[in-house]
Every structure is written in structure tokens, then in C-alpha cells.
Amino acid sequence: MDQLYIQETALTPEVIFRPSDGTFVISGKSIPEDAESFYSPILDWVDQFSKNVSCEVHLSIELEFFNISSSKRLLFLMYKLNELVDQGEKVEITWMCKENDDDMYEVGQDYAFMVNIPFHFYANGEKMLA
């Protein structure tokens, strides 16, 4: 399976999903006008990856900000990863935000409560107590 790479734009995040080592990264801003069309290929890729998981999965999310429609798509992505956990696969999520960005931290906390995936929180590269 090929790596998924989507270059960052002013409205969309950089996406790097490497199936070889299970490293998934989403970073930047996510404010596309049509979040469904942006995230659909990502969700489809995860569906294909899920058919032959051969490693642990580590999703790293480092978004400066995102809109409501992106929030919904990110939750769908986490639900798909949660299905892997339900199948016995190891999945972890690292949620990164800037120090004192309470809004982004709280959004990460909300996601952590909605899925059965271990979350690790970092602010400016320093591990936070969740």
C-alpha cells in the first residue's frame, strides 16, 4: 500500500500517512470550504489500510485551528481507528497544541472521551498531564 501524502495549503493541513510504520500525521490548518471532499480520500485510505494492518498505528494531530466540518471529519477518522482498537490492534493518538491554547486542548480532551484510544497531550513539544 502506498503512502498517503497531501500537501498543506492555506486552508488544508499537511497529511502524511505511512503504512510501512503506522505513522499518521495531520498538521497545519483545516478550514476547507468542503471538508467532506477533502477528508473523503483520507477516510477511504484508512479503510484500505484497515484491511491489512501490519503495525501499530500512531496518529499525530497538530492543528493550529480547524472549522466545525473538519472537526466532524476528524472524529470520523478517530472512529475508524477505534474500530482497529476493537479488533485488537494498537493505536495511539498524540494531540499537540500550543502552550496556553486551552481551546485546542479541550477539543482534544473531548475527542479522547469519545473514542477508546489512548491520547497523549503535548504543548510546545512538552508532555502535558491529561
Instruction: Kindly tell me if the per-residue pLDDT of 122 is higher than 60.
Output: yes
The mean per-residue pLDDT over the stretch 103-123 comes to: 95
What pLDDT shows up at residue 25? 98
Sheet holding 4-6, edge to edge: 4-6, 14-18, 23-30, 57-66, 91-97, 119-123, 126-127
- For 9, the domain range is 4-127
Grid cell 472512529 — which residue?
79
What pLDDT shows up at residue 125? 75
In whole angstroms, give the CA distance from residue 61 to residue 130. 16
Domain count, the chain: 1
57 and 87 Cβ atoms separated by less than 8 Å: no
Q: What is the pLDDT of residues 43-99, one digit of tens each?
A: 999 999 999 988 999 999 999 999 999 999 999 999 999 999 999 999 999 999 988
Q: How confident is the model at residue 130 (pLDDT cuts 50, 70, 90)?
A: low
CATH number of the domain within which 116 lies? 3.30.750.24
In whole angstroms, give the CA distance from residue 16 to residue 53. 17
